[in-house]
Amino acid sequence: MTADHAAHAPLLRLLPHVTRHRGTFWWTLLSGLFVQLGLLTLGLLGALTLSLAVRGERAAVVPLTAGLLLTAVLCALVTWRESYVAHDLAYRILADLRDRVFTASRRSLPARHRPRHSGDLGAVALSDVETLEWLYAHTAAQALVSTVLLTVTIWLSLLLSPWLLLAWGPALLVIAALPWLTGGAAARRGAELTAANAALQADIVETVAGMRELAGAGALDRRRTELAEGTRALTRAQRRIAAVNGAETAVADLAVAAAGAAALGMTAAGVAGSDPALAPVAFALATVALGPIAQISALLRNFGTLLAAARRIDAVLTMPPATAEPVAPLPPAPGPLVFDRVTFRYHPTGPLVLDEVSFTARPGEIVALVGPSGGGKSTCVSLALRMWDPDSGTITLGGVDLSRLADADLRAAVTAVPQRIDLLAGTVGDNVRLAVPDASPERVHAAASAAGLLAPASGLPLGLDTPVAERGTGLSGGQRARVALARALLVDAPVLILDEALAALDAHAEAALHAVLRERAADRITLVVTHRASTVRAADRVLELRSGRLRPIGPP
Ligand SMILES: Nc1ncnc2c1ncn2[C@@H]1O[C@H](COP(=O)(O)OP(=O)(O)OP(=O)(O)O)[C@@H](O)[C@H]1O
């Protein structure tokens, strides 16, 4: 593969998306062809009518004028249709692409050692995918149509006078050469523009998400200045692109005008060997013939931005998944959760986070995982949820390696209440039902009640109908913990993991939840990560993780 081919590979890889919408593509192609042929006919008919009027052949002018009007109406209709199908095609493909970007990010998130900014990912799914609208709605079909039209105009020119090619040939060369002359600069400017746009979007998303923290730290003004600088960087990049594009457009327009003038002059002076009265026809032919090439040239002008967007999309689509789905999944089996000499690092050259960690948690047991901050407790939870696979060692449930369980079976078998709870906008009920949307109202009520959500002490008089703003804003830390707990209890999985889930509750609520956990622990494995002595006392067994090494410290 040549370096050039490799550089353009992301764009080429995105082109086959058209093939899934072959029908719409052919319609786009056909209607584009009709539009261009209609415009050519319109130009030539107009010029011919003018020539005949100059000659005084009134009898032919009337039907030609009627034909001109009819062609104009048809042209308008076909142009409307072409615009509709071209955009229909483009937006269908963009919807597919967004879906693929979402699936790819879902498979590879959470990032283990290549954290990707969520705002940046948003820019890929929104702006970069949107940029490709140009590729799909205006490039592939238009390039084919332009080639057909160029052939037709060359043939017509030859019919009129072979000398005409001399009039517009040089202009054709200039317009065709423009994208190759400015291609390198356009690619650089396009990459600059895409990067500036993505950086600004990422910063805006982070600013909105961290507004409270920024305001609390008195850093809002500084942030505003940074955002203003990001906007200026984006404007600079846009200005540079506009300068290159503007210069190219001016040169292309000049070349078209020069070709038209040359054709007009040659025919009027009789140099082209044809009737001087046909000079307007020659003019129309020369300018219309260059139209398609000018369009392709304009398309190539956007090539830099297209390529930059395609590269960013390609990078997301080709991200390796964090964990691979098993080719031949095994059925889940009841039994203990076993960590066997599990070793893990977040980065291949980073510190060892888990060092040969081995333990067994049996059904019916409540096991407390304790230890100093950064000891590796949450990492154990992530591995039990199979967000990543261990570097060495195995994790099994009921004797089946977690990597052999289908994703849906694993989600049904292991559920966790995470340390950081983000709820989705909606109601408390929507959030509780998140993992089991078709759960019966009785089950939802029972889970919510067990998590203490319906008790007056929860401070939620509207219960499950309490509105929740995005990310759980509007609920206290304790209320969010109860919602997350109710959600986990509703799943009713054989393994329930609570990662500091009770830390936000008061002592009374915590004691009530210990009773619930004990009641539900009879046939399930309950693993509680905690710093609280009261939670440790409620466990059957305590394990301590310190600097990635596990030490059983027996019953509390
Ligand atoms: N995504 C990540 N990328 C790189 N390092 C990470 C990542 N997540 C955690 N770590 C590191 O791994 C180590 C263990 O972190 P972990 O969150 O498992 O500790 P913990 O015992 O749960 O701590 P805490 O009690 O404070 O929650 C820490 O040194 C932490 O900085």
Q: Dump pLDDT digits (tens) for 507-546.
A: 777 778 888 888 887 888 999 998 877 777 778 889 999 9
Is the minimum distance from the CB of 379 to ligand 1 under 6 angstroms? yes
Distances (CA, A) of 215 to 56, 150, 202, 218, 420: 80, 61, 19, 5, 21
CA of 374 to the centre of ligand 1 (A): 5
The whole-angstrom separation of Cα 462 and Cα 479 is 13
- ipTM over 0.85? The verdict is yes
The whole-angstrom separation of Cα 445 and Cα 512 is 17
- The ranges assigned to domains in the chain are 96-317, 337-552
Q: What's the CATH class of domain 96-317?
A: mainly alpha
Is the minimum distance from the CB of 376 to ligand 1 under 6 angstroms? yes
pLDDT of residue 556: 63
pLDDT of residue 97: 82
Position in ligand 1 atom list of the atom nearest CA 548: 14
337-552 adopts what CATH topology?
Rossmann fold (3.40.50)
pLDDT of residue 197: 85
Is the minimum distance from the CB of 530 to ligand 1 under 6 angstroms? no
Q: Residues 550, 359: contact at Cβ < 8 Å?
A: yes
Distances (CA, A) of 414 to 34, 339, 500, 517: 59, 14, 17, 15
Q: Dump pLDDT digits (tens) for 132-166.
A: 777 776 676 777 777 888 888 888 888 877 877 88
The whole-angstrom separation of Cα 85 and Cα 89 is 6
pLDDT of residue 215: 87
- The tokens for 542 are 């305590």
SS3 string, 291-350, reads HHHHHHHHHHHCHHHHHHHHHHHHHHHCCCCCCCCCCCCCCCCCCCEEEEEEEECCCCCC
The whole-angstrom separation of Cα 146 and Cα 385 is 55
Phi and psi at 433, nearest 5°, equal -80, 0
Position in ligand 1 atom list of the atom nearest CA 500: 27
pLDDT of residue 506: 75
Is the minimum distance from the CB of 377 to ligand 1 under 6 angstroms? yes
The DSSP code sequence of 149-170 is HHHHHHHHHHHH-TTHHHHHHH
Spans of the chain below 50 pLDDT:
1
Position in ligand 1 atom list of the atom nearest CA 382: 18
Cite the DSSP H helix spans in 161-278: 164-209, 211-216, 220-268
Q: Dump pLDDT digits (tens) for 242-264.
A: 888 888 888 888 888 888 888 87
Judge whether 96-317 and 337-552 match in fold.
no
Is the minimum distance from the CB of 287 to ligand 1 under 6 angstroms? no
- Residue 131: closest CA among 312, 5, 252: 312
- Report the SS3 class of residue 464: helix
The whole-angstrom separation of Cα 347 and Cα 358 is 21
CB-based contacts of 115, cutoff 8 Å, min separation 6: none
